[in-house]
């Protein structure tokens, strides 16, 4: 396969980076913010690697102007961030916290003043602890409704300046290992959030979701292996993405999960299947499949031990990003696609004269962006790319040990340093092509 590297991206291609509130903001007990479930998680001894905490994180709450200035220096035209639900609504419902509302007002205005378009995620895992205590979290469909209410309120607050909205981030991940009822309730939350955003909108919105998909790519591109990869994609993503697009659970879903089915209604499935304006896909790895003479028509080929991996042991599979965009068109039509997260964690300790020479991340970017460019050249509906992440941050259960950023964070001094990969990404954006 030959990867096209001479074709330019279109002038309106969205170039961004992404973060999440709990991972960067800090200031967890300031200005009226109440605890989220991740504040609670960080109090559990041993739950987070090295007992790290997002209490301070990257101190973005106080340093957002500095961070936006760095974004501008990287030539970004978009920035994806999430709202801390408990900073805006400390109880998850009820009265607003004016100082929390004001923080996002100031952040949005700062982005716009620097020519950067805000992309706002309503829910990125930090459920208000009050809703966990009152309803049992995502075990209850009441929380699904509360997310819809929250989405409507933030649309009323910010949609005069924010057009691009994401309902939920990675239902697959925050419901992992949970009963399918919890997955269903989270899907319902996405649907209610979509309706809430549109109900509160002050302008026509561009609203969708961000989901971590598993993308299978064919061992090589022959019709039988391509078809096998397409079948594998439908099996792997039957829990979340297919119900969002089809408003129903598929035969593949019932085949896999017949022992653990959720309670649903036709009305709930209509809510889940509310049409989206775009699909946001988070992708970090994938798998290789080939056609096989078995019930499913495919088999997964295991990666050998020598296959390239990131610092967390995730296999690096650049071809999967092209296959993901192609699968989306094949199964869901020409709905616009944005890569809402893609990146790698690396051991960024090697420095020279204060530089962070992360050439492994540059190669990761180069290979993945080449396949995104190929997808565009092939006429697939890819509209933008958000690198995860803008800066090193609190990486959930990995704490501060996993660095995904284009910008290095010194967690002692809070100094920011643009890595070589950040400079590379800036040059790619400036040139409009893979370098």
pLDDT at 51 > cutoff 50: yes
Catalytic residue among 93, 216, 268, 341: 341
pLDDT at 12 > cutoff 90: yes
Yes or no: say if 149 and 94 are a contact pair by the CB < 8 Å rule: no
Mean pLDDT over residues 359-369, rounded?
Answer: 97
Mean pLDDT over residues 103-116, rounded?
Answer: 98
pLDDT at 18 > cutoff 90: yes
- Average pLDDT taken over every residue of the chain: 96
Predicted pLDDT at 6: 47
* DSSP 8-state symbol, 220: S
pLDDT at 69 > cutoff 80: yes
Return the structure tokens found at 333: 């039509």
Catalytic residue among 170, 211, 216, 268: 170
Predicted pLDDT at 7: 79
Is 268 a residue of the active site? Answer: no
pTM to 2 decimals? Answer: 0.97
Dump pLDDT digits (tens) for 206-220: 999 999 988 999 999
Query: Among 105-109, 245-249, 354-358, 365-369, which stretch is predicted with the lowest mean pLDDT?
Result: 354-358
Return the structure tokens found at 88: 């805006």
CA 355 centroid distance within chain: 28
Dump pLDDT digits (tens) for 138-149: 999 999 999 999
14 three-state secondary structure: strand
Dump pLDDT digits (tens) for 386-432: 999 999 999 999 999 999 999 999 999 999 999 999 999 999 999 99
pLDDT at 352 > cutoff 80: no
Predicted pLDDT at 275: 98
Residues composing the chain: 435
pLDDT at 2 > cutoff 50: no
Mean pLDDT over residues 117-132, rounded?
Answer: 98
Mean pLDDT over residues 293-319, rounded?
Answer: 95
Dump pLDDT digits (tens) for 164-209: 999 999 999 999 999 999 999 999 999 999 999 999 999 999 999 9
For residue 386, the cross-strand partners are: 16
Return the structure tokens found at 183: 């997955």
Separation in Å, CA 84 to CA 95, 132, 172, 189: 15, 15, 20, 16
Is 132 a residue of the active site? Answer: no
Predicted pLDDT at 424: 98
Predicted pLDDT at 1: 40
pLDDT at 3 > cutoff 60: no
Predicted pLDDT at 353: 85
């Amino acid at each position: 396969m030959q990867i096209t590297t001479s074709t330019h991206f279109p002038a309106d291609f969205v170039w961004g980076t992404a973060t999440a509130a709990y991972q960067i903001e800090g200031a967890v007990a300031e200005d009226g913010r109440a605890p989220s479930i991740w504040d609670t998680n960080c109090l559990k001894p041993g739950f987070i690697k090295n007992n790290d905490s997002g209490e301070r994180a990257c101190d973005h709450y106080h340093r957002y102007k500095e961070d936006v200035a760095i974004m501008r220096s990287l030539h970004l035209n978009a920035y994806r961030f999430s709202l801390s639900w408990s900073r805006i609504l400390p109880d998850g419902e009820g009265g607003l916290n004016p100082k929390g509302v004001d923080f996002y007002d100031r952040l949005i205005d700062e982005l716009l003043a620097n020519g950067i378009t805000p992309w706002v995620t309503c829910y990125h895992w930090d459920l208000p602890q009050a809703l966990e205590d009152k309803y049992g979290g995502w075990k209850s469909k009441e929380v699904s409704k509360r997310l819809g209410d929250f989405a409507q309120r933030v649309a009323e607050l910010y949609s005069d300046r924010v057009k691009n909205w994401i309902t939920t981030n990675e239902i697959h991940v925050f419901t992992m290992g949970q009963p399918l009822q919890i997955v269903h309730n989270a899907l319902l939350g996405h649907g209610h959030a979509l309706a809430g955003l549109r109900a509160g909108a002050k302008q026509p919105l561009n609203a969708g979701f961000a989901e971590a998909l598993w993308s299978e790519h064919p061992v090589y591109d022959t019709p039988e292996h391509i078809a096998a990869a397409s079948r594998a994609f439908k099996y792997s993503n039957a829990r979340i993405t297919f119900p969002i697009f089809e408003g129903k659970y598929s035969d593949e879903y019932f085949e896999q999960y017949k022992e653990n089915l959720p309670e649903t209604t036709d009305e709930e499935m209509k809510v889940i299947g509310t049409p989206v304006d775009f699909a946001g896909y988070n992708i970090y790895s994938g798998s290789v499949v080939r056609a096989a003479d078995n019930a499913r028509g495919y088999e997964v080929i295991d990666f050998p031990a020598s296959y390239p991996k990131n610092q967390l042991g995730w296999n690096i599979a650049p071809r999967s990003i092209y296959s993901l965009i192609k699968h989306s068109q094949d199964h869901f039509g020409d709905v616009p696609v944005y890569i809402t997260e893609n990146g790698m964690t690396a051991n960024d300790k090697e420095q020279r004269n204060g530089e962070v020479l992360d050439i492994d991340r540059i190669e990761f970017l180069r290979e993945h962006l080449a396949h995104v460019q190929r997808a565009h050249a092939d006429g697939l509906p890819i509209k933008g790319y958000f690198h995860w992440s803008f800066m090193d941050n609190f990486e959930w259960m990995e704490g501060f040990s996993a660095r995904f950023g284009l910008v290095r964070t010194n967690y002692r001094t809070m100094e920011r340093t643009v890595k070589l990969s950040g400079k590379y990404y800036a040059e790619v954006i400036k040139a409009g092509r893979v370098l």
